Structure 1
Amino acid sequence: MGNQASKKPNNLSTELSSYEAACAADADLRSFDTTLQARTSHVINALAVGVEVRALSFDSLREVTECLLEMNQEVVKVILDCKRDIWKSQELFELVEEYFDNSLHTLDFCAALEKSLKRARDNQLLLLVALQQFDEESSSSSKSESESGESGSKASYKRTLEELRNFKEAGDPFTEEFYTRFQNVHKQQIQMLEKLQSKKRKLDKKLKSIHSWRKLSSIIFVASFAAVLICSVVAAAMAAPPVAAALAAATSIPLGSMGKWIDSLWRNYESAVKGQKELVGTMQVGSYVAIKDLETIRVMVDRLEVEMAAVEKAAEFATQEDGGDAAVKIGIEEIRKKLGGFMRNVEELGVQADVCSRDIRRARTVVLQRIIKQPN
Structure 2
Amino acid sequence: MGCATSSKHGSLREDHALDLKPVISRNSKLSRTVADLLKSVLPGIRNGLADLDICLHHALLGLRTLEAALVCFEEENRKKEKSDYRRSKKRKKPRNGKNAYALTLRKLSEFELQAGAPFIHLDVEELQSALKKLEDMMEALRGRKKEIEERLRSTNWWRKVWNLVFTAVFIGVLVCSVVLAASVAAPVAITAATASATAMKAMELWINSVWDERKKALEDEEEVVKIMRDGGFSLPELESIRSMVHKLRNDYDALNWDVKFMLRQETEEATKVGMTDVRKKIEKGEVTSGVERLKSHVDACATSIQRAEEESLKTFRS
Q: Residue 360 of structure 1 corresponds to which residue in structure 2?
A: 305
**Deviation of residue 352 (structure 1)?**
0.9
Matched, 1:258 2:203: yes
Cα distance in 1 for residues equivalent to 2:116 and 2:288: 16
Q: For 1:140 and 1:123, how far apart are their aligned partners in 2?
A: 26
Moved more, 107-116 or 132-141: 132-141
1:335 aligns with 2:278: yes
Query: SS state of the match for residue 194, structure 1?
Result: helix
Q: How far did 1:348 drift? A: 0.5
**Could you say which residue in structure 2 is the equivalent of 1:302?**
246
Partner of 2:143: 198
TM-score normalized by structure 2? 0.70
Hey, what does 2:66 align to over in structure 1? 127
- Counterpart residue type for residue 110 of structure 1: L
Quote the Cα distance in structure 1 between the aligned partners of 2:32 and 2:159: 27
Question: Shift of the alpha carbon at 1:202?
Answer: 2.8
Tell me how far apart the structure 2 counterparts of residues 364 and 268 of structure 1 sit (CA, whole Å). 30
Describe the shift of the 1:332–1:152 C-alpha distance in structure 2 as closer, same or farther (beyond 3 A): farther
Partner of 1:112: 51
Q: 1:308 is aligned with what amino acid? A: Y
Larger Rg: 1
1:317 aligns with 2:317: no
Q: How many residues align?
A: 264
Map 1:64-79 → 2, pairs under 5 A: none
Shift of 1:292: 1.0
What TM-score do you get using the length of structure 1 for normalisation?
A: 0.60
Residue 110 (structure 2) aligned to one of 138, 158, 166: 166
Q: 2:14 is matched with which residue?
A: none
Residue 263 (structure 1) shift: 0.7
Matched, 1:87 2:30: no
In the alignment, structure 1 segments of 5+ residues that lack a partner are: 1-85, 221-244
In 2, the alpha carbon distance for the partners of 1:295 and 1:307 equals 19
In 1: Cα distance, 2:150 partner to 2:315 partner: 22
1:55-76 deviations in Å (ceiling 9; x for gaps): xxxxxxxxxxxxxxxxxxxxxx
- The 2-side partners of 1:213 and 1:175 are apart by 62
How many angstroms does 1:216 deviate by? Answer: 7.3
Structure 1 residue 351, shift from structure 2 partner: 1.1
Structure 1 stretch 290-299 or stretch 136-145: which is displaced more? Answer: 136-145
Two-structure CA RMSD over aligned residues (Å): 3.5
Q: Does residue 155 in structure 1 map to residue 99 in structure 2? A: yes
Asked if the contact 1:131–1:332 (Cα under 8 Å) also holds between the matched residues in 2, the reply is yes
Tell me, in whole angstroms, the C-alpha distance in 2 between the residues paired with 1:329 and 1:264.
Answer: 84
Q: Unmatched 5+ residue regions in structure 2? A: 1-21, 167-187
**Cα contact 1:310–1:338 (8 A) shared by 2:** no
User: How many Å separate the matches in 1 of 2:95 and 2:249?
Assistant: 34
Matched to 1:318, the amino acid is M
Aligned position for 2:37: 99
- Code of the residue aligned with 2:296 in structure 1: it is V
1:262 and 1:151 map into 2 onto residues whose CA distance is 104
Query: 2:236: which partner in 1?
Result: 292
SS at match of 2:117: coil
CA distance change for structure 1 residues 199 and 299 in 2, over 3 Å: closer, same or farther? same
Q: Which residue matches 1:276?
A: 221
- Check whether the contact 2:38–2:313 (CA below 8 A) recurs between aligned residues: no
CA distance in 1: counterparts of 2:249 and 2:69, whole angstroms: 20
Give 3-state SS (helix, strand or coil) of 1:178's partner: coil
For residue 326 of structure 1, the aligned residue among 254, 264, 269 is 269
Q: Which residue identity lines up with residue 138 of structure 1 in the other structure?
A: N
Match of 2:180 in 1: none
Supply the distance in 1 between the matched residues of 2:288 and 2:33 (Cα, whole angstroms): 41
Amino acid at match of 1:335: V
* Structure 2 CA distance for partners of 1:262 and 1:190, relative to 1, 3 Å: same
CA distance in 1 between counterparts of 2:209 and 2:313 reads 28
| Residue 171 of structure 2: aligned partner | none
CA separation in 2, counterparts of 1:260 and 1:183?
53
Q: For each residue in 1:305-359, what CA deviation from the matched residue of structure 2 results, as whole angstroms up to 9, or x when unmatched?
A: 22212212322332332x6312211111111111232111110101110221233
Q: Distance in 2 between matches of 1:219 and 1:361?
A: 53
Match of 2:76?
Answer: 137
